Amino acid sequence: MDRKCFSHLGVTWVTSADPLSRMSDSLLSRRHFLGTAAAAAAPWASSSLAAETGQPFKFVFLTDPHVQPEKGAVQGVKQCFAKVNALEQRPQFVITGGDLIMDALEMGSDRVRLQWQLWDECMKTLEVPAYHTIGNHDVCGWSPKALVKPGEAEYGKKLFADRYGQGRAYQSFDHGGWHFIILDSIGLEKETGDYMGWIDEDQLAWLQADLEKTGKKTPIILVTHIPFYSVWHQVLLGPKVNIGAKALVNNVHDFRKVLSAYNIRLVLSGHGHISERIQFDQVTYLQGGAVCGLWWKGPVHGNPEGFVEVTCHPDGRFEDRYVSYGWKAQA
């Protein structure tokens, strides 16, 4: 696959969203070795072999499955999970990047619950533990076209939070000497009733406390459905394009300095359905493609339906590769 690289003022962008790019291999490798951390932190307690022996461990980041009854989506998600189960080295866990179901923003309650039932059916076939990120399409009724209204049981983030967050849609955990933070990047624009990219004040307070507890040496991976930064819009539409409030986390600049004080190594995101890498200083910002591709209609800008396999080392380095699971869109 041909990739375009852009470099300016120490920032490098590598993106497969370039309309001239082509991709023919079913397995794409992307490797990025980060420099060794200045000092190694004591590993966090974990029952994993990686934590006990100081060995590298693998996990999978898969995002935007958008499960639905149509277009063979259930079959596709199960095929993706089968590929994860069959990887040469079984990952320690999976992190999903949001938009687990096709849509709850504009659907009625019955349709929303049907999609979650289908997702549950798919999850039964995944043979490793999973942590889940909330996406905009997992939120009920945050749209001017919403059928689920405020006050109804399914409205907002309740269904997701009750399922995966013990009442909230963000969390953190430790594994193999690394700290993982899964954020809720979906905010509500009250004037329009629409969603936007936003980290609210309560979550920011929790995030700061979580970072302080983790310390400044432990390598950290952040996961957010809506990206912090992205360039594919500018590549395709021009450098002056106004991408609106839904495409990126709008208040990331407000807490950027908080993050910069800690050992953030990797920020994983979904939302754009493309494979994109931005490297700034010591942080890699990686969009993970999409399990569903173009909403089960085929690849996005030549990037096949797939997921990211990440290998984490105890000294703060990581490697990643994009893996296609061989899906063919149904007619």
Buried b (16+ CB within 10 A) or exposed e, 107-139: bebebbebbbebbeebbeebeeebbbbbbbbbb
Answer with the residue of higher pLDDT: 272 or 52.
272
pLDDT in tens, 13-57: 444 433 333 333 333 333 333 332 332 232 223 334 444 558 999
The answer to the question of residue 165 being in a domain is yes
The answer to the question of residue 331 being in a domain is no
Q: What is the CATH number of the domain that holds 118?
A: 3.60.21.10
The answer to the question of residue 92 being in a domain is yes
Give me the pLDDT at residue 41, please: 30
Buried b (16+ CB within 10 A) or exposed e, 146-180: bbbeeeeebbbbebbbebbbeebbbbbebbbbbbb
pLDDT in tens, 61-109: 999 999 999 999 999 999 999 999 999 999 999 999 999 999 999 999 9
DSSP designation for 303: B
Domain that holds residue 49: 4-324
The answer to the question of residue 329 being in a domain is no
Answer with the residue of higher pLDDT: 120 or 31.
120
324 neighbors 16 (Cβ within 8 angstroms): no
The answer to the question of residue 302 being in a domain is yes
- Number of structural domains (the chain) is 1
Q: Where are the alpha helices (DSSP H) in the chain?
A: 49-53, 73-85, 109-123, 158-164, 201-214, 232-237, 252-260
Give me the pLDDT at residue 10, please: 33
Tell me the residue type at 263: N
pLDDT in tens, 157-212: 999 999 997 889 999 999 999 999 999 999 999 999 999 999 999 999 999 999 99
The answer to the question of residue 71 being in a domain is yes
The answer to the question of residue 330 being in a domain is no
The answer to the question of residue 55 being in a domain is yes
Total-model pTM: 0.85
